[in-house]
Structure 1
């Protein structure tokens, strides 16, 4: 299962985080409003199939944060170094893992993640096909010129999948 997901409804981000938490948010929203909700895995940009009709019971850990107890075997010098880091061992391990995840993705993997999201969520938006051509031709200026006219939450999410910052359009409503 995906480690984190983001949900959109009508071009707006409605929830992000651990799948169980996002599923709970979606269930509450659907109880109040009807509509199409798209959920994407943040790592790959793939559509995620969350079952938001029922919530799951979680095990030990801090379930609201998506934390589950695991065992890590390190040498005493490793534990000593980790414990000396700001926030302690757990916080430093999370930072190291996130940095490795971000550093480990190639440009093509980031482009493919953005493509998968765009294919599912943006296909009817103006300039969609030209945006895809600009994405794979690495014409960042042309790509941003198109995407920055799409719903702001979509533009921000695409930028996060690509590992870039979106241009500031001044329209964050």
Structure 2
């Protein structure tokens, strides 16, 4: 049965967005495959080996720290994640709102100015600039920006 919004539309379309990024997403409507049986042996710890390029003075400092370079780097990353969590979350919300804005209102009036207000963190100006846009689009942009979309 068709939804009332799609009735009478010549080619009904449904757009899906990932709330974490504000970007269009895909729906995988295939049946889920059964989970693989657990394997015997030692469980994987999730450690990924990657290359890190540092200057000699950085390597010297790391070598002098207790626990070795890997342990120190893990502690530094954890500390940075804790202290920068608010800024990172705000940046991700702004990028998600912008991604949705581009897809749904990229040709709307005052889009460029609204984008500037968004990235300047001027929510009041953004709200005023997008006021003429469709209500649902306005609401979703502001929800993504405020972190209320879940």
- TM-score normalised by L of structure 2: 0.52
Structure 1 position 56 matched with structure 2 position 30: yes
Structure 1 SS opposite 2:17: strand
Contact 1:39 1:48 in 2 (8 A): yes
Separation in 2, partners of 1:154, 1:144: 11
What RMSD over aligned residues (CA atoms) do the two structures have, in Å?
A: 3.4
Q: Deviations over 1:49-95 (max 9, x none)?
A: 225xxx433589xxxxxxxxxxxxxxxxxxxxxxxxxxxxxxxxxxx
Unaligned residue ranges in structure 2 (runs of 5+): 35-85
The Cα of 1:38 is off from its aligned counterpart by: 2.3
Higher Rg of the two aligned structures:
2
1:117 to 76, 97, 100: 100
Question: How many aligned positions are there?
Answer: 96
Unaligned residue ranges in structure 1 (runs of 5+): 1-24, 61-102, 166-173
Provide runs of 4+ in structure 1 moved above 4 Å. 28-32
Separation in 1, partners of 2:110, 2:13: 22
Structure 1 SS opposite 2:95: helix
2:141 to 158, 165, 173: 158
Higher relative contact order (CA 8 A, sep 6+): 2
- TM-score normalised by L of structure 1: 0.46
Q: Which residue of 2 aligns with 1:40?
A: 17
Contact 1:127 1:146 in 2 (8 A): yes
